Each structure stands twice: as C-alpha cells, then as structure tokens.
Structure 1
Amino acid sequence: MNTYSAKAIANAFLRLARKDGQSITPMKLQKLVYLAHGWALGLNDKPLIKDDVEAWQFGPVISSLYHEFKEYGSGAITNDASDFDLDFDTFEIVYEVPVIKEDDTDANELVEAVWNSYKKYSGGQLSNLTHREGTPWKQAYNGNKGQKIDTQLIAEHYKGLIRKRTAT
C-alpha cells in the first residue's frame, strides 16, 4: 500500500459516493479520510496519507482538505480536489486531480471497505465517533485549533480497536 495525499483519498471517497448516488459534506469527507488513515495504520502499520492530522473542535481535520472544500460549508461537495503545480521547464501551471493508483489494490480495497462501513453516517455522527473517550482526538485536543495528532497515537488506537474485535 502506497501513501497518498489526503486529496487523493478524498477523491476516491467522492467517486464512491457518486457511484452510490450519495453526497458528501466537507465534515463527512474529513472523517472518512481520517478513518481510512487510522485503519491503514492499525492494519498495516503504514500511513495512508502524507498529510498531518490536526485536532480541531469538531474532530480530526486535515487542513489541506479543509481549505480545498471550505467553500461548500455544510453542503454537498460537487467537485473533486485538485492540485496546481508549476512546470519549471515550460513555466506552465499544471492542473491535476490526485487519485489512488489503479493497481494499488490494498489502498483501493481499504477505502472501499471504509466507505461501505461508514457511508450511512452523517458528518456529525462521524465527528461524535472521533470524540469518544480514549480516541486520539480526545487525547490531543486542547481547545485550540491546529494541535497535531501524533501518527503513532492514531496507529495505537486503531490497533487497539482491531485487538478488541479479534478478541470477541
């Protein structure tokens, strides 16, 4: 499994939602990307996203996704995340839509499994899930936006959830 930008993972969820005829709000998308990252760490001990996760008032937030989709407020996201880069050879601005590699079966299957498990929940419900006692957000949030949630803390939390599931 490769590591991707949070925007690539977000775009995978947006495509799955469109395929299922569903819409996704920015809050729901934030939580889905975080959950996929957490489960990747718990299952494979490898991060799914390159971006830092921060503890904000309404749960874990990836700031690049926040800035990409904040214009939607609490409404449905209608466009994929994109990146702009400068080609230094031609001095042209290059536009791209980040995606998960098609042949990265592990990453694609993980995102699909997370989608199938959590798609029925609203952004608010997923936020509440991340606020439970003992979660990485609960341990990191200090009332100020922007506190980084340590990747190791996320990994240990999801490994613990896996241990609980396999013990029953």
Structure 2
Amino acid sequence: MSDYQPQKTFCHECRKNVEYQIKELVEKKEVRGLEFEYTAERAYCNECESEIFIPELHDQNLKKIDAAYREKAGVIKVSEIKEIVEQYNTGKRPLSLLLGWGETTLTRYLDGDIPSKSYSETLKKVKSDYNYMRQLAAENKDKVSEKAFNNLMESIKDLQQDEIKTEKKIDSVIKYLLKELGEVTPLALQKLLYYSQGFYKTFYDEFLFEDECEAWVHGPVYKDIYFKYRDFGYNPIEDEKLVFENINLTEAEEELLDSIIDNFGCYSAKTLERMTHSERPWRLTRKNFKPEQKSCEIISKDLIAKYFEDVNEKYEMLNVEDINDYSEQLFIKIK
C-alpha cells in the first residue's frame, strides 16, 4: 500500500477541502522602480482550477522576490551580511556602530530590510577588504567598548592570516603581474591570466593554476577574480590590502610570466580582448551565443591546451621568448 498522502487545503470557491497542485510560473515584479522576473510557485485547486492561498508558498515567493530584486539591483544578500557578522565576531550592534551606522542598522538588514546602494557597497567591501574594515573601525572606535574594538582587531588579524594560508597559485600569479606591471585594469588582468595559463601549458605540459576560465562577452574570464576586482571598473587595480609577499612561484613560472608581461602587457585591455576574440578557444565556446549574450560556459582546458600547442608548433617556439612572434602577428591580425 502506498504511503502517499495527497496535498489538501480549503478552497474558497468550492467551499470544501480539496486536493491541489503546485505550478511554477515566471512572473514580473517591480520594486523601487526596478522591474525583474522571478519564478513563483502557485497552488491551484484540482476541481475548479482556481488559485488557492497557501501561507508557506506565499512566504517562499516573498523570499524569491527579495532574492531576485537584490540580484537585479546588485544589493548584498542577507546570507552575506550574516557571514560578515560571523567573520568579524563582534556582535551586530557593535559592528554596526564601528561601520559608522546606527546600532540597530545591521539588525534591520539581517531581519530583511533592504540596504541602500551605498550601504550595500560598504558591506560588500568590508566582506573582503579587511583593511577597509580596520579603517572604519578606527574612525568609530569611541562609539563602542574597548573590548568590542579589540575583538574586531583580533578577528581581522586572524582573517588575514587565514587568507595567506589559503592562497592559491593564481593569487601568486596575480601578485607577480601587478607587482611587475604596476598598472593593470581588471579586464587586462583577465587576459594576461589566460595567456599565462595557455603558454605555460604548452611549454611545461601542465597548467599554471587550477582555476577554470569562462567565455564571457568580453573574452576569457576567471569568475572569482572578476568579483574580487570588479569595483575598480575600467581603472587600474590599486589594492591597498595586497602585500607583495608570499609569491609562491618557481623560477620557470616567473620566466614565463616575464615573457607574458613583455609580449602582452604592452597592449591595452581592449586590444587584449580583441586578441582573445580572434582565437579558437573563446570563439568555439561561444559559438551558440549571440555577441552580447551573457554566458558562464567554461572554456575547457583541453581546448586551451590544444590551441596553444598548435600555436607553439606553427611558430616553432623553442623557449618562452618566442612568444613575441605570436603576439606581434596577432596584433597585426586584429588591427
């Protein structure tokens, strides 16, 4: 015998308890003048087909509306605010005061109030920029107890130490590129990482770092790196919290990166973008997408490896300095 129990509730049209079914519907909503879509769940009577109000579904739909609005507006999520409170280990009220806000501001945001764009951006920044949090705390330390302030300073110290321990190879590559080039925009950095990965593979038969590359509208992109530096926009990356220490690279890796800097670092971000657009890995990965259509399709490592292997053979590269021949011809090609 089946244990299945059909869902039942009261239908105001039928005036009795009825079985119902739940359907997913893509609906439009407008919040604060911003229109967006979200997937709602609605319950319908199996007998008269009229919509039935289910409190649990209503609550779920409200959460979906909130999430969809925050995504569209670029506003920080409640879950991310919870992470901030936990990582700084200071308490909601003291942390709110150390940010320069009212003591109940963070509590309201954790309860679901939507922060303004400027408050949201501040929260996003302190989530990853510990020096910025330290700066704000120093400016507002007289608003909290000495114990609360010291707890925050200890948390920042622990977070920075943990970050150093968990750095990946791509972090060392980025540090080296930024240190040697001085001025690099986020867009240019993405392309330099891509060329570093491809050419390292063809010369040393292994990838420089493990991270996957995605075929975005403006060329190959390492998503985590994009979100880390996107606030710089089209400006050079000036990351005050970045310390050029603990750069974990071998001599061969540095030699390869020096060649990438010499042969690709001399070009603008937009030129590098056009270069990657002309190459097979990005074009093949985006073959089913329109030019301005967003995509998070991964450019497979096999595709990258094969392409740069073909480049190596075509230009008869014997060492990393020979990358020069390819970069010059590629520049002529896209002019």
Residues 86-143 of structure 1 show CA distances to partners (whole Å, capped at 9, x for unaligned) of xxxxxxxxx9976233xx11111111111011121011100100011x5201110234
Match of 2:298 among 118, 133, 148: 148
State the match for 1:137 in structure 2. 282
Please give the residue correspondences for 1:8-157 in structure 2 after superposition, counting only pairs within 5 Å.
8-18=172-182, 23-79=183-239, 99-101=247-249, 104-132=250-278, 134-141=279-286, 142=289, 143-157=293-307
Report the Cα distance in structure 2 between the residues aligned to 1:55 and 1:145, rounded to whole angstroms. 7
**Residue identity matched to 1:148:** I
Identity %: 24
Instruction: Give the secondary structure class of the aligned counterpart of 1:65.
Output: helix
Report the Cα distance in structure 2 between the residues aligned to 1:96 and 1:122, rounded to whole angstroms. 24
Report the Cα distance in structure 1 between the residues aligned to 2:231 and 2:254, rounded to whole angstroms. 27
**Residue identity matched to 1:139:** L
Q: Identify which range, 38-47 or 68-77, moves more after superposition.
A: 38-47
State the match for 1:88 in structure 2. none
Contact 2:175 2:244 in 1 (8 A): no
Q: Over alpha carbons, which structure has the higher Rg?
A: 2
Runs of 4 or more above 4 Å deviation: 95-98
Report the Cα distance in structure 2 between the residues aligned to 1:54 and 1:112, rounded to whole angstroms. 24
Contact 2:169 2:209 in 1 (8 A): yes
State the match for 1:90 in structure 2. none
State the match for 1:163 in structure 2. 313
TM-score (norm 1): 0.79
Instruction: Give the secondary structure class of the aligned counterpart of 2:315.
Output: helix
The RMSD of aligned alpha carbons is 2.3
Contact 1:7 1:81 in 2 (8 A): no
**Residue identity matched to 2:285:** A
1:79, distance to aligned residue in structure 2 (A): 1.5
Instruction: Give the secondary structure class of the aligned counterpart of 1:42.
Output: helix
Which of the pair has the greater relative contact order for Cα pairs under 8 Å at 6+ separation? 1
Q: Which has the higher helix share?
A: 2
**Residue identity matched to 1:12:** Y
TM-score (norm 2): 0.41
Instruction: Give the secondary structure class of the aligned counterpart of 1:54.
Output: strand
Could you tell me which runs of 5 or more consecutive residues in structure 2 were left unpaired when the two chains were aligned: 1-167, 318-324, 326-335
